[in-house]
């Protein structure tokens, strides 16, 4: 193999490696500099520079060697000069050749000669002049050979594509950033709207001030304890805020009845999950399943809930979480016809109704989250704050929670075993 061919292969090899780095490493100016040094080294040139066309025809130095930094300050490219490069046949211009009629080269010929630049090459990618490469003479004083020109063109093309790619990447990143910002803005507006909605629901029900907000927070805490991804946790918090949105269509007197409501009133009130679904379903929520969580937050595992009387595995996990959060808040806040229940009483209810009304796994997760706060295993005091600081003060609280967790975990394991057996028999 001829030495020049070997050199060429070597050069291309190095360039291929560099090309791969453009996207990956992100250090673009380093890539341009290294490419230019390779070009100078391969052909033994004393000086050279790479300039990038930036807005409105100015040129920015991307790499320079053996030339003064001020070189590019004086340069600009008019639109007609740019078009001449784009439409012309020539791919390179020799400064020493006075016959060159190229307007840009003619305009700067004297200055370029003064800097001992011998060759000017426009970098053209996809019908766009991305920049210029300026090269000095060979150190040996020899003229450029045809092979030299081939090498130079290939490398200049490579650098041009590199610059073009970087620009595209920058544009994409900018667009993505813009989209991200817009999306974030939309989400903020959405969340603010949801909270306003929740406040509106709670205002209608004068005895359950802040109920929807608390259900949202409890749901979020339970979902996080169950290992849900952050995006889903945000979603269930929203579902919690909105779970009772259907109450907006229920008669205010029924919602606020200071007595136990009769069957007719009760069936009117029980319309609210389905009504909530109707309200929420047409909205394009940024989170999954919000309408379904509202619809099924009064379903029970034993099928005695409403509106559809679904059983255990038919009920979405999110709805089970909201259901527990909802009931827990109902039990732990005062109502017009009763005081709130003691924590011991609430734990008894949760134990008794796990597997009937509530999902044992969900109750266990909630109990774990409460226990973490009670034991100080977390800095969070969100549950404590919602319940009022005295509510979880009892000495027996940690034991109540621990026993509940153990019992329910045991029950869940048994349930899983039975399901496995049933599967085996089937």
What residues from 25 to 64 belong to the interface with Fe ion (CB under 5 A)? none
Distance, in Å, from the CA atom of 391 to the CA atom of 343, rounded to the nearest integer, reads 7
> Which residue stretch of 78-86, 146-154, 239-247, 390-398 sits at the interface with Fe ion (rule: CB under 5 A)?
239-247
The residue at minimum Cβ distance from Fe ion is 244
- Would you tell me how many other CB atoms lie within 10 Å of the CB of residue 305? 21
DSSP element (H, E) containing 391: none
Nearer to Fe ion, 52 or 244 (CB): 244
- Smaller CB separation from Fe ion, 225 or 244: 244
Draw the binding track, 131-150, toward Fe ion (x: CB under 5 A; -: no contact): --------------------
Nearest to 326 by CA among 406, 411, 216, 426: 216
Instruction: Pick the piece of the chain touching Fe ion (CB under 5 A) from 55-63, 74-82, 242-250, 313-321.
Output: 242-250
What string marks each residue from 197 to 236 as x (binds Fe ion by CB under 5 A) or -? ----------------------------------------
- Record the tokens describing residue 310, joined without a space: 């679904």
Among residues 322 and 408, whose Cβ is nearest to Fe ion?
322
Nearer to Fe ion by C-beta: 61 or 274? Answer: 274
Q: Least distance to Fe ion from the beta carbon of 354, Å?
A: 20
3-state secondary structure of 117: strand
Provide, rounded to whole angstroms, the least separation between the CB of residue 348 and Fe ion: 22
Identity of the residue, 213 or 244, whose beta carbon is nearer to Fe ion in the bound complex = 244
- In the bound complex, what is the minimum distance in angstroms from residue 320's beta carbon to Fe ion? 14
- DSSP class of residue 260 equals -
Contact between 246 and 275 under an 8 Å Cβ cutoff? The reply is yes
Residue with smaller CB distance to Fe ion, 109 or 214: 214
- Choose the binding region for Fe ion from 196-204, 240-248, 255-263, 388-396 (rule: CB under 5 A): 240-248
- Across the beta sheet with 117-124, what order do the strands follow? 59-65, 48-53, 129-136, 117-124, 93-94
DSSP string, 74-92: G-B--HHHHHHHHH-S-S-
For 87, counting Cβ atoms within 10 Å of its Cβ (0-12 exposed, 13-18 middle, 19+ buried), the class is: exposed
Judged by CB, which is closer to Fe ion: 84, or 244?
244
Q: Which stretch binds Fe ion (CB under 5 A): 87-95, 185-193, 243-251, 254-262?
A: 243-251
Find the shortest distance in angstroms from Cβ 384 to Fe ion.
Answer: 24
Cβ at position 225, least distance to Fe ion in Å: 22
DSSP, collapsed to helix, strand or coil, labels residue 139 as: coil
Q: Which is nearer to Fe ion, 22 or 201 (CB)?
A: 201
Instruction: Single out the segment in contact with Fe ion by CB under 5 A; choices: 21-29, 123-131, 175-183, 244-252.
Output: 244-252
- Residue 131 zone, left/alpha/beta (φ > 0; ψ -120 to 50; rest): left
Per CB under 5 A, 244 contacts Fe ion: yes
Nearest distance in Å: CB 398, Fe ion: 31
Cβ distance to Fe ion smaller for residue 220 or 244: 244
Residue whose CB is less far from Fe ion, 119 or 319: 319
Contact 304, 315 (CB under 8 A): no
What is the bridge-based pairing of β-strands 48-53 and 129-136? antiparallel
Shortest distance in whole angstroms from residue 328 CB to Fe ion: 13
**Judged by CB under 5 A, does residue 299 bind Fe ion?**
no
Structure-block tokens of residue 405:
């967790």
Judge contact between 253 and 207, C-beta under 8 A. Answer: no
Q: How many residues bind Fe ion (CB under 5 A)?
A: 1
Contacts of 288 by beta carbon, 8 Å cutoff, 6+ apart: 232, 235
Q: Give the separation between CA 378 and CA 374, rounded to whole angstroms.
A: 9
Phi, psi values for residue 138, rounded to 5°: -75, 145
Determine what percent of the chain falls in helix, strand and coil, rounding each to the nearest 5: 65, 10, 30
* Region binding Fe ion by CB under 5 A among candidate stretches 114-122, 171-179, 213-221, 238-246: 238-246
Min dist CB 247 to Fe ion, Å, is 7
Which spans of this chain sit near Fe ion (rule: CB under 5 A)? Answer: 244
């Amino acid at each position: 193999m001829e030495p020049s061919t070997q050199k060429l292969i070597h050069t291309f090899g190095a360039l291929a490696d560099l090309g791969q780095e453009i996207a990956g490493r992100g250090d673009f100016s380093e890539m341009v500099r290294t490419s230019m040094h390779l070009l100078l080294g391969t052909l033994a040139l004393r000086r050279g520079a790479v300039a990038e066309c930036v807005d409105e025809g100015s040129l920015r130095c991307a790499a320079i060697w053996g030339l003064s930094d001020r070189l590019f300050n004086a340069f600009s490219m008019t639109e007609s000069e740019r078009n001449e490069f784009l439409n012309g046949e020539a791919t390179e211009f020799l400064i020493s050749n006075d016959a060159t009629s190229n307007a840009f080269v003619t305009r700067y010929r004297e200055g370029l000669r003064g800097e001992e630049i011998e060759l000017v090459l426009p970098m053209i990618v996809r019908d766009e002049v991305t920049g210029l490469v300026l090269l000095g003479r060979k150190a040996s004083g020899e003229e450029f050979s045809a092979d030299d020109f081939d090498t130079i063109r290939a490398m200049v093309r490579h650098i041009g594509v590199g610059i073009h790619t970087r620009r595209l990447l920058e544009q994409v990143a900018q667009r993505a950033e813009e989209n991200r910002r817009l999306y974030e803005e939309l989400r903020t507006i959405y969340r603010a709207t949801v909270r306003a909605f929740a406040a509106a629901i709670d205002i209608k029900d004068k005895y359950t001030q802040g109920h929807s907000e608390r259900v949202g927070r409890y749901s979020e805490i339970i979902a996080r304890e169950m290992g849900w991804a952050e995006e889903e946790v945000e979603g269930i918090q929203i579902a919690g805020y909105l779970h009772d949105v259907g109450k907006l269509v229920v008669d205010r007197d029924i919602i606020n009845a200071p007595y136990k409501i009769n069957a007719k009133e009760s069936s009117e009130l029980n319309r609210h999950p389905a009504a909530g679904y109707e309200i929420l379903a047409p909205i394009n929520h940024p989170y999954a399943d919000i309408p379904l969580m509202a619809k099924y937050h009064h379903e029970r595992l034993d099928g005695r809930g409403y509106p559809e009387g679904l059983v255990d595995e038919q009920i979405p996990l999110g709805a089970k979480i909201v259901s527990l959060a909802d009931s827990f808040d109902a039990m732990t806040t005062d109502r017009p016809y009763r005081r709130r229940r003691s924590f011991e009483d609430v734990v008894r209810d949760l134990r008794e109704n796990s597997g009937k009304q509530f999902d044992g796994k969900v109750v266990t997760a909630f109990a774990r989250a409460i226990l973490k706060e009670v034991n100080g295993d977390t800095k969070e005091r969100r549950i404590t704050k919602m319940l009022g600081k005295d509510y979880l003060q009892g000495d027996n609280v940690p034991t109540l929670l621990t026993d509940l967790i153990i019992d329910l975990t045991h029950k869940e394991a048994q349930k899983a075993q039975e399901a496995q057996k049933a599967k085996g028999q089937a």
